[in-house]
């Protein structure tokens, strides 16, 4: 069955500390992986997609097909990174997105 | 920057009533989606729409739900007879046909069924 697992519902770190938000997926084909972010009272917006292989706001994510993971990392967290982060995948370019339940990241000063 | 617009931001209705949630996708986008998120749960896919017909629907999207693109700009989700369990945040998304073909989300409509 298609599934995205984000094991941490809540994650707190201090400013300047490294942060890693975990994501594992279950899908038989070759999915396209995404991280979406939702800042307080704002809409879901794309943070990263695995095919772009880019760093946005200092965040990176590497697709590990062997472990079926797409963890989101940032070496030095900032207070403005506090938000809800959703991992998602789709099986085709026009297909539905499958979301994880989200991880609420809080970065303390 | 263009955005997906959803109205209303909050809709309160009585059980059994019909509701229509409205979305204005980004103007050059051709693929449209509805998702919902029940409080404390995952964002779940409802339906996708292209070329004036449903492309895909989930098991949630039963006969009580329908979608329509009544004109060139609006994309609506209708729930015929609302149930308490329909209370959720409903998100509309649209996607272009370009190299950067990602889904752009609206801010959502919070539906409260009493």
CATH assignment of the domain containing B66: 2.60.40.10
Give the tokens for residue A99.
């979301």
Question: Which domain range does residue B67 map to?
Answer: 19-97
Reply yes or no on whether the pLDDT at B98 is more than 80.
no
Phi first, then psi: what are they for A87, rounded to 5°? -90, 140
Region B25-50: what's the mean pLDDT?
A: 93
- Which chain A residue has its CA at the smallest distance from B58's CA? A96
B105 touches A at CB < 8 Å: yes
Reply yes or no on whether the pLDDT at B101 is more than 90.
no
- Which chain A residue has its CA at the smallest distance from B4's CA? A43
Contact (CB<8Å) B33/A46: no
Q: List pLDDT tens digits, range B39-66.
A: 989 999 999 999 889 999 999 999 999 9
Count Cβ–Cβ pairs < 8 Å, chain A vs chain B.
46
In angstroms, the CA A104 to CA A93 distance is 28
Contact (CB<8Å) A96/B105: no
Contact (CB<8Å) B43/A86: yes
Contact (CB<8Å) B106/A43: yes
pLDDT of the residue at B105: 96
Domains of chain A: 3-108 (2.60.40.10)
Report the number of distinct structural domains present in chain B: 1
- What CA–CA distances, in Å, run from A48 to A36, A53, A64, B13, B33? 7, 8, 15, 37, 20
pLDDT of the residue at B34: 98
Does B72 fall in a domain? yes
Does B25 fall in a domain? yes
Cβ neighbours, 10 Å, residue A73: 15
Does B71 fall in a domain? yes
**CB-based burial label for B27 (10 Å; 0-12, 13-18, 19+):** exposed
In angstroms, the CA A73 to CA A103 distance is 13
**CB-based burial label for A72 (10 Å; 0-12, 13-18, 19+):** buried
Does B46 fall in a domain? yes
């Amino acid at each position: 069955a298609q599934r995205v697992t984000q094991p941490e519902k809540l994650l707190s770190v201090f400013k300047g500390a490294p942060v890693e938000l975990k994501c594992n997926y279950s899908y038989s084909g070759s999915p396209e992986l995404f991280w979406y972010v939702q800042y307080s009272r704002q809409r879901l917006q794309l943070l990263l997609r695995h095919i772009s292989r880019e760093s946005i706001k200092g965040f990176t994510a590497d697709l590990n097909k062997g472990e079926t993971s797409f963890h989101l990392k940032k070496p030095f967290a900032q207070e403005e990174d506090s938000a809800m982060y959703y991992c998602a995948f789709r099986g085709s370019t026009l297909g539905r997105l499958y979301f994880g339940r989200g991880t609420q990241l809080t970065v303390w000063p | 920057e263009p955005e997906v617009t959803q109205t209303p931001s909050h809709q309160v209705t009585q059980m059994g009533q019909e509701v229509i949630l409205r979305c204005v996708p980004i103007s050059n986008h051709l693929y449209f989606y509805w998702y919902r998120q029940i409080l404390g749960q995952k964002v779940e896919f409802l339906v996708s729409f292209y070329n004036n017909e449903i492309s895909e629907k989930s098991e949630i999207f039963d006969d009580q739900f329908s979608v329509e693109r009544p004109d060139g700009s609006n994309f609506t989700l209708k729930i015929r007879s609302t149930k308490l369990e329909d209370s959720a945040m409903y998100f509309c998304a649209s996607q272009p046909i370009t190299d950067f073909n990602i889904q752009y989300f609206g801010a959502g409509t919070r539906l409260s069924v009493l």
